[in-house]
Amino acid sequence: MKNLVVAFVATLTLAACGGPKQFGSLCDDPNKPEACDQACDPTPGSASTCPGGFYCSEDGRCDAECTQGGGQCGGGYTCTTNGRCEMDQTTDPGGPDASCPAVNFTAKAVTPSIQLLIDRSGSMADPIGNTNRYTAIRNALVDSTAGVITKLQSKAYFGASLYSTDSPCPRLYSVGRAKDNRDNIANLINGQSPNGNTPTGPSIDQAVTGFATAPPPAGSPPIIVLATDGLPNECNSNDTTVGQAKSIQAAKDAYAAGIKLFILAVGNGINDAHLQGMANAGAGVQAGMPNAPYYISNTPQDLTNAFNSIIGGVISCDLMITGSVEPNQAAGGTVVLNGMTLMYGTEWTLVGTSTIRLLGGACDTLKNSSNPVVTASFPCGTVIL
Evaluate if residue 47 carries a pLDDT over 70: yes
Q: Categorize the per-residue pLDDT at 7 as very low, low, confident or very high, splitting at 50, 70 and 90.
A: very low
pLDDT at 18: 42
Q: Categorize the per-residue pLDDT at 23 as very low, low, confident or very high, splitting at 50, 70 and 90.
A: confident
pLDDT at 89: 57
Domain range spanning residue 166? 113-315
Which pTM does this prediction carry? Answer: 0.64
Q: State how far the Cα of 342 lies from the Cα of 49, in Å rounded to an integer.
A: 22
Q: State how far the Cα of 360 lies from the Cα of 99, in Å rounded to an integer.
A: 36
User: What total of structural domains would you count in the chain?
Assistant: 3
Query: How many separate helices (H) and strands (E) can be counted in the chain?
Result: 8, 22
Residues 251 and 209 in one domain: yes
Say if CB 162 and CB 139 are below 8 A apart. no
Angle value at C-alpha 311, between 158 and 123, nearest 5 degrees: 80
Interacting residues of 54 by C-beta distance below 8 A, sequence separation 6+: 33, 35, 38, 62, 63, 64, 82, 83
Evaluate if residue 101 carries a pLDDT over 50: no
188-197, 290-299, 306-315: range with lowest mean pLDDT: 306-315
pLDDT at 113: 94
**Using omega within 30 degrees of 0 as the cis cutoff, is the peptide bond preceding 101 cis?**
no
Mean per-residue pLDDT over the chain, rounded:
81
Q: Categorize the per-residue pLDDT at 273 as very low, low, confident or very high, splitting at 50, 70 and 90.
A: confident
* Span 164-177, average pLDDT: 94
More confident residue, 145 or 185: 185
* Span 240-251, average pLDDT: 94
As to burial, measured by CB atoms within 10 angstroms (0-12 exposed, 13-18 middle, 19+ buried), residue 267 is buried
Say if strands 260-266 and 222-228 run parallel, antiparallel, or are unpaired: parallel
pLDDT at 154: 83
pLDDT at 25: 83
Say if CB 296 and CB 268 are below 8 A apart. no
Residues 311 and 322 in one domain: no
pLDDT at 328: 81
Evaluate if residue 280 carries a pLDDT over 50: yes
**The residue type at 95:** G
Contacts 24+ apart (CB under 8 A), 274-282: 274/231, 274/244, 274/247, 274/248, 275/228, 277/244, 277/248, 278/226, 278/247, 278/248, 278/251, 279/251, 281/248, 281/249, 281/251, 281/252, 281/255, 282/224, 282/251, 282/252, 282/254, 282/255
Residues 83 and 153 in one domain: no
Q: State how far the Cα of 192 lies from the Cα of 311, in Å rounded to an integer.
A: 23
What is the CB neighbour count within 10 angstroms for residue 3? 12
pLDDT at 226: 95
Residues 175 and 302 in one domain: yes
CB crowding 145-184: b at 16 or more within 10 Å, else e? eebbbbbbbebbbbbbbbbbbbeebbbbbbbebeeebbeb
Which among 315, 333, 363 is the end of a domain?
315
* Span 303-319, average pLDDT: 81
Sheet-wide strand order for 157-164: 171-178, 157-164, 113-119, 222-228, 260-266, 295-297
Q: Categorize the per-residue pLDDT at 96 as very low, low, confident or very high, splitting at 50, 70 and 90.
A: very low
The length of the chain, given as a count of residues: 385
Residues 122 and 190 in one domain: yes
More confident residue, 1 or 124: 124
Evaluate if residue 270 carries a pLDDT over 60: no
123-137, 326-340, 368-382: range with lowest mean pLDDT: 368-382
Q: Identify the DSSP state of 94.
A: T
Residues 55 and 129 in one domain: no
Residues 262 and 166 in one domain: yes
More confident residue, 28 or 176: 176
Evaluate if residue 1 carries a pLDDT over 50: no
* Span 109-116, average pLDDT: 86
Residues 223 and 138 in one domain: yes
Say if CB 128 and CB 266 are below 8 A apart. yes
Interacting residues of 346 by C-beta distance below 8 A, sequence separation 6+: 45, 359, 360
Say if strands 113-119 and 222-228 run parallel, antiparallel, or are unpaired: parallel
Across 81-85, 99-103, 274-278, the highest mean pLDDT is recorded for: 274-278
pLDDT at 383: 60
Across 78-87, 165-174, 259-268, 314-323, the highest mean pLDDT is recorded for: 165-174
Residues 292 and 250 in one domain: yes
More confident residue, 82 or 375: 82
Which among 68, 95, 122 is the end of a domain?
95
Which among 289, 315, 341 is the end of a domain?
315
Q: State how far the Cα of 380 lies from the Cα of 31, in Å rounded to an integer.
A: 32
pLDDT at 338: 81
102-111, 164-173, 368-377: range with lowest mean pLDDT: 102-111
Q: Categorize the per-residue pLDDT at 370 as very low, low, confident or very high, splitting at 50, 70 and 90.
A: low
Evaluate if residue 21 carries a pLDDT over 60: no
**Using omega within 30 degrees of 0 as the cis cutoff, is the peptide bond preceding 217 cis?**
no
Residues 121 and 238 in one domain: yes
Residues 123 and 83 in one domain: no
Q: Categorize the per-residue pLDDT at 228 as very low, low, confident or very high, splitting at 50, 70 and 90.
A: very high
Supply the CATH number for residue 137's domain: 3.40.50.410
Q: Categorize the per-residue pLDDT at 380 as very low, low, confident or very high, splitting at 50, 70 and 90.
A: low
Q: State how far the Cα of 240 lies from the Cα of 226, in Å rounded to an integer.
A: 18
Residues 184 and 274 in one domain: yes
Q: Categorize the per-residue pLDDT at 94 as very low, low, confident or very high, splitting at 50, 70 and 90.
A: very low
* Span 125-142, average pLDDT: 93
pLDDT at 108: 60
